[in-house]
Structure 1
Amino acid sequence: MSSKKVPLGGKPSSAPKSGQDVDAWVGSRQKEPNKRLTIDIPASLHAKLKSDCAIRGRKMADEVRDLLLEKYGKS
């Protein structure tokens, strides 16, 4: 039995155009640079957050980000 090869399409490229400065291109894609935040939380809180996010189909990072924005506002 032979296997059928199916070509997979690649992601569309949104790379910088020829002659465009890469740093300027990257900067134009982000409104504001991100900073990583690592926190320790109790296992029970983590389990509740993870479960709730899974039920609602949300990423935990998005949920925490939205909660922080709600508390501290958008800048």
Structure 2
Amino acid sequence: MSTKKIAFGTKPTNKPEPAPVDSWVENRAAGEAEAMKRLTIDIPESLHRTIKSQCAMRGTKIADEVRELLLKKYGNQ
């Protein structure tokens, strides 16, 4: 009966863990974009389908288009 030899690699080093994402978020520069808030609305399915297909053809996101329309209506007050 033959024995199988297994080679083990070198011992792992104690590399420092990367900084957590939370610390990056907390320490971002103050000049970055304003914090966002989520807005949920109900619209008819047919309207959603139309908006989604138009955005797909233009290669845009629904959220970006709705945000643009709201900014046109209400501005950056």
Same fold (TM over 0.5): yes
Q: Distance in 2 between the 1:63 and 1:38 partners? A: 15
Give the superposition deviation at 1:37: 0.6
Q: Residue 13 of structure 2 corresponds to which residue in structure 1?
A: none
Per-residue deviation, 1:29: 6.3
Q: Please state whether the residue corresponding to 1:28 is helix, strand or coil.
A: coil
1:24 aligned partner: 27
Unaligned runs of 5+ in 2: 1-18
Q: Give 4+ residue runs of structure 1 displaced > 6 Å after superposition.
A: none
The match for 1:58 among 57, 60, 71 is: 60
Aligned to 1:72: 74
Q: Matched residues, percent identical?
A: 55
CA RMSD of aligned residues (A): 2.4
Give per-residue Cα distances to partners, 1:13-33, cap 9 Å, x unaligned.
xxx8xxxx74232x5363211
Task: Give the Cα–Cα distance (whole angstroms) in 1 for the partners of residues 67 and 41 of structure 2.
Answer: 13
Alpha-carbon deviations, 1:23-58, whole Å to 9, x = none?
Answer: 232x53632110011111000110110011011110
Instruction: Please tell me the residue identity of whatever aligns with 2:27.
Output: A
Letter in 2 for 1:52: Q
Greater Rg by CA: 2
Question: What is residue 3 of structure 2 aligned with on the other side?
Answer: none
